[in-house]
Structure 1
Amino acid sequence: MKRALVWMWRRLRPFQWRILWIMNATFMVGVSGVIRNEQGQVLLLKHRLWAARGGDWGVPTGYAKRRERLEDTVVREVREETGLEVRTGSLIRVRSGFKFRVEVAYEAHVVGGTLKLDPFEIVDAKWFDPSDLPEGTRQAHRTLIHH
């Protein structure tokens, strides 16, 4: 029986990924970036779409697009939300458990660009010393910053 299953699976090689896709869970991937400048300060954004929670401050965050490298998601989201160019560094965290969502966070450093906010998503953006984060900074993002 096992041999027959192995033989059949090998014959299905062109379709294996589709079969696995159908049979397994599919997740959205939320990607965050802890962005630092040359002085070691952290970029925090006040997100308009988080207004239900009092307009909390947090690190740049967004969702990965299909077939997008997670590091590239950080670069794209920061550029879209702030106009800044960043280079990703170390992976800080990967976690799941939010229904069909996985969260990934990277450290990143500013390498260029000019701060210009996307007014649809972002209300404000400021650089903060990690030891002096503003009131209203999301606890999960404080944890990332101090990681």
Structure 2
Amino acid sequence: MNRLNMKSNLMYLYLFAGLLLFSCQTARDTDAAKDESGEQSTVTEPQRVGMVTGLSPEKAEYYKELHADTWEGVLAAIRQYNIRNYSIYLQEIEGKLYLFSYYEYIGDDYDADMKRIAADTTTQRWWQETDPCQLPLPEALAKGEVWTPMEEVFHTD
């Protein structure tokens, strides 16, 4: 499979993040709650994001090693720009490896925060390590993306 050059790949990663806001079903419901003073306030639920991509069998162990010791700068950017409860899962299906990622976005400006993450130099270096491990699904590859957004069909707390 022909891979996009790294610079284009990083740009496309940013673009997919922005498109998630429009292509994924979101869960930005508000519930009434009382703050510490007893006054009524609005609590915004996190935006839940799920995505899928392939994983190169030859790079699977390296990908796991990277994530077993994720760089602190990458983790700091994730926290700073309002991503919480971030998980990546691995599953083999019909002899092919797939990654499923899930996170919750708790900020107020998803596009701006995704731009900030994409501009972070440590995160850019991290993607230079992780991108070659991933095998985008055909629909993502056609759009120059790595991860394919998934539609949320059920959620319960």
Say whether the fold is shared (TM-score over 0.5). no
TM superposition score normalised by structure 2: 0.27
- Which has the bigger relative contact order, CA under 8 A and spacing at least 6? 2
State the structure with more CA Rg: 1
Higher strand share: 1
